[in-house]
Structure 1
């Protein structure tokens, strides 16, 4: 009876010892913060970064937009290979790129098609010097942004980047929605808009604008005036020279030179005998005087 009463007491003692042991183990375990981030591995010599970390942009992020590239626009449009080649060979494309990128410059471009250049004839462009090719390209550029409506109020002659004056005349007129262009050697019109924004306008033309300064025949310098004919003095003849002039067929009678105080005598030309007789008579007259 005594043994049965001690069994619950023994079991209760064991249970208390078990709970005490578990409490001790839990109190010795390190407490972990749920918000703690894993420590990054430190690189020897690397600076310590404090504050929020800015993530780098993805590798395929688009590049910032730059100034409009005229040759790229023409390449995308297609049909302007010759004009693109001229822009690049004359370095005008680089000039325009820097001009439009570093300032508030505006530009209007008349872009001839490949068919327009083929109408010039074989070898025409090759016959031009590098300077003339540059002038030809610049003649197709107006240093201003012009819409189709602006052409109705433009003043002629229009100044191009090739210059102005008699060598580079450019006149633009409108008739309804048609824009006509004349260089003096070529008449053409705008046949379409390739590109337009608030800075650049590119229009298609079906003929190459030929300026006088490149395609006109070179003016020849005026020929010098003919030199005046020399004035010949009257021949001086004496009595002895008349003997040897009988073979002269000139129609102008010679004038005989006489001594001071004598009257000059005009000797007509006869045959040799008559001339000798006249000379003897003249000499006798002088001797008596």
Structure 2
């Protein structure tokens, strides 16, 4: 009786062990925890460049800024600077450059011509100082005015010269040069050939040297005095000649009268 009971216990134990092992194999594996991938932060938006502020504090560029505002082109410049990928390059004359502009006068321009002249001072792309060396090989370069409003550039040992076909100037300093806006100071107003023609005004002639004051000597006879003496001598000669002729006429008449009387006597 002991043996069957022992077999029964052993069989029960084996059955429990097999059930436990089967249950472990049938259960699904535990999920593996996944580390979330961080989302990259968006690129910061470019800083808005206020051209009105830059030109008002960096000057003296008040005259150019006044033209920008009066022609309502400041919005065009701002849009090119902040809303395009190309950016903008501006050449700004000082106030003294406008005051020294005697001829031609900008007051004689029409509103459209004045707008074209202001747009002529900007390139529709950002150019650093190092870019002008390459830019000189691509001249003429179109300006923001478009069409025939082009500029010629020459890089002479680091000094940038600009030629509009009517006026010539050079870049004297960099006011602001951070992409997308570059502002450079020039020493003359850029006058486009499309408005003022092809005749570059000549340089003013030097003042003539003073001529020495050569006055005749006080005791030297003048031409008038010589002419006066000669004119006075002429009447005296003519009067003497007339007297001689008169005397001869009288003598001839007397001789004829005497001769006639003798003829009558004989």
Task: Quote the residue 2:144 is aligned against.
Answer: 161
Task: Report which structure shows greater RCO (CA 8 Å, sep ≥6).
Answer: 2
Q: Following TM superposition, by how much is the alpha carbon of 1:65 offset from its aligned partner in structure 2, in angstroms?
A: 8.7
| 8 Å Cα contact 1:82-1:117 kept in structure 2 | yes
Q: Following TM superposition, by how much is the alpha carbon of 1:123 offset from its aligned partner in structure 2, in angstroms?
A: 8.1
* Whole-angstrom distance in 1 between the partners of 2:198 and 2:177: 36
* Whole-angstrom distance in 2 between the partners of 1:160 and 1:71: 20
The structure 1 residue matched to 2:73, chosen from 74, 92, 104, is: 92
The structure 2 residue matched to 1:187, chosen from 146, 168, 181, is: 168
| TM-score normalized with structure 2 length | 0.54
Any idea what the Cα deviations from partners look like across 1:124-163, whole Å, max 9, x if unmatched? 1211111011000110000111111101011100110111
* Whole-angstrom distance in 1 between the partners of 2:156 and 2:66: 33
Any idea what the Cα deviations from partners look like across 1:60-93, whole Å, max 9, x if unmatched? xxxx995111121010112111100111011110
Q: Secondary structure of the residue that 2:188 maps to in structure 1?
A: coil
Task: Quote the residue 2:52 is aligned against.
Answer: 71
| 8 Å Cα contact 1:67-1:97 kept in structure 2 | no
Change (3 A) 1:133 1:199: same
Task: Quote the residue 2:187 is aligned against.
Answer: 206
**Unpaired segments of 5 or more residues in structure 2?**
1-44, 200-266
1:152 and 2:136 are equivalent in the alignment: no
Q: Following TM superposition, by how much is the alpha carbon of 1:216 offset from its aligned partner in structure 2, in angstroms?
A: 2.4
Q: Secondary structure of the residue that 2:108 maps to in structure 1?
A: coil
1:142 and 2:149 are equivalent in the alignment: no
Change (3 A) 1:169 1:92: same
| 8 Å Cα contact 2:165-2:192 kept in structure 1 | yes
Tell me how many residue pairs correspond in the alignment. 153
1:171 and 2:152 are equivalent in the alignment: yes
* Whole-angstrom distance in 1 between the partners of 2:170 and 2:158: 11
Any idea what the Cα deviations from partners look like across 1:219-238, whole Å, max 9, x if unmatched? xxxxxxxxxxxxxxxxxxxx
| TM-score normalized with structure 1 length | 0.50
**Unpaired segments of 5 or more residues in structure 1?**
1-63, 219-289
* Whole-angstrom distance in 2 between the partners of 1:122 and 1:180: 22
* Whole-angstrom distance in 1 between the partners of 2:160 and 2:63: 23
Indicate the structure with greater helix content: 2
Quick check: 64-73 or 150-159, which moved more?
64-73
